A and B are shown apart, each in its own frame.
Chain A
Amino acid sequence: MNPQIYMDFAASTPVDPAVADAMRAALQGPVGAANPAATHWAGEAAAGAVDAARRQVAALVGASPAEIIWTSGATESDNLAVTGAARFRRQLGRHIVTTLIEHPAVLESCRALEAEGFELTYIAPDGAGIVDVDVVAKALRKDTILVSISHVNNELGVVQPIAEIGRLCRDHNTLLHVDAAQSVGRLPVDVRSQRIDLLSLSAHKMYGPKGIGALFLDRDRCRRVQPLFFGGGQERGLRPGTLPTHQIAGFGVAADLAAARMQDDVARITALREQLEAGLLAVSDVRLNGHIEQRACHIVNVSVAGVEGESLRCGLRQVALSSGSACAAESGEPSSVLRTLGRPDYLAQASLRFSLGRTSTAEEVEATIHAFRTTVTRLRELAPA
């Protein structure tokens, strides 16, 4: 039996032991027992833990604690940001700009808004997955109320020029929403210098627990959005619901660790990525997807000619990774991100996303390269000439 290897850190990361310790502590005693909204002494203790985490998460992205709203994760943050900002500002305009390679949480939110009468402009990136700032500028209209672009694309790992787009949006007096689920802890994120008005975060992408995320709302430019939920006053009424103290406490510690370890993590993961990439690209007719330099440290996305995608993934099943494709058994539909980049369907369907993380090792990378080379060679030999 080949060793099982985890290379899907872009999908989710393991909970750091220090995070788990903080969560365990937050589940016990009065902090664990109390509702943070309660006004008695136990509730105040729980609220104190929530406030501490809010400071930690805010510090990670250069925000003020009061600008952080807790959510269930980046998907909810994206939904709240896009639909909430658009609906709240509908009197100012009905045009929104996004890209064709956004996360479904953004694209599906945009679709919902289209059904409500909003107009969307979907920008196609260049062949390397990068969004051209000039193209964004051309897409902006007088009635554009929101631009939504992810910092790091979750499939390709490419980094978008957020600071430039932020400057453009400020000049145009348009809100900028950024999904930073893949970038926080891997790239510097600073909402002030990058002029970001709304920022989506997810704990489980940065060694925190699943089920907790956050939305940054700039206090001056986007103080309110239309909520998705109703029925409580928590989070200024923007996201009502009892706060999960233990998850929030875990997110806070994960944010602290991300800030403290980012430099070492990036150096180490970049070296592993280069090792992995060299091994994968040494196999003939393997092509890297995405910009070769303008990308985050943890993702390698490749297309493999001459093999069928499902068999490629099956041959590599001891490695936990994601396909670069959306090849459904039913639909056979390849990834629209790779299609947008101009990859033909047969190549988009035979694409893999490897993503590395804090616990990845050089031995795992070597074993993955060996499994990849063996599988690709075998499948090519198996195919008709």
Chain B
Amino acid sequence: MPFARPSHGCANWRPPDVVYPDAVLARFDAPAHAGPLGSGPGELVTGRAGGVEDGIDVAFEARIDGGRIVAIGFRTWGCPYSVAASSLAAERLQGQAVQALGEFNPLELAPLLDLPPERRGRLLCIEDALRSCWRAWDNKRLSPSSVSRSDP
């Protein structure tokens, strides 16, 4: 279609680059708990939420042993806030009781990362991914035959 209306008034208007807080940059540049978990003790559960349309696609892996989260890793496609929040959530959950996967409220990370209000939806996706891990654990717990234990 050679003739059309502009999709919006400013064809190539762009805002100034977002300036990120140090807490975000530190975790974006060297995120703790990034990547898949290697082999180890306990049972592995995974959860994923979001998508490109949500501005974040986040997946967590948690290894549960003795009722505790002995290892947790994340993978995130998203803005630097999303990467930093995923990393910080993993930091907070490492070593916690497994119930924390279902109870952790990522919104408490917002002030620590100086998260702009319009980015809070990213935290809800992180919450969904962690809840998905919790449900996976719960399902495994209720169906012991389906639980696969990985080698230490």
Interface residues of B (CB under 8 A from A): 1-15, 17-18, 20, 25, 28, 31, 34-35, 48, 52, 55, 57-59, 75-80, 82-83, 116, 118-119
Contacts and interface: CB of A to CB of B under 8 A. Distances in A.
A384 B118 contact: no
Residue of B59, B77, B119 most packed against chain A (CB within 10 A): B77
Contacts of A308: 55, 77-79, 82
Contact of B11 (A101, A323, A330, A383): A101
A122 to B, nearest CB: 6
28 contacts: A104-B12, A107-B10, A108-B10, A111-B9, A122-B3, A123-B3, A124-B3, A132-B2, A138-B2, A154-B12, A307-B77, A308-B78, A314-B28, A317-B17, A322-B14, A326-B14, A326-B15, A327-B14, A332-B55, A336-B12, A339-B7, A340-B4, A382-B75, A382-B77, A383-B77, A384-B59, A384-B75, A385-B75
B7 A108 contact: no
A164 interface: no
A322 B16 CA distance: 9
A176 to B, nearest CB: 18
A280 to B, nearest CB: 20
Contacts of B1: 124
A311 B80 contact: yes
B3 A139 contact: yes
Residue of A111, A123, A339, A383 most packed against chain B (CB within 10 A): A383
A39 to B, nearest CB: 44
A331 to B, nearest CB: 9
B15 A329 contact: yes
B75 to A, nearest CB: 4
A107 B8 CA distance: 10
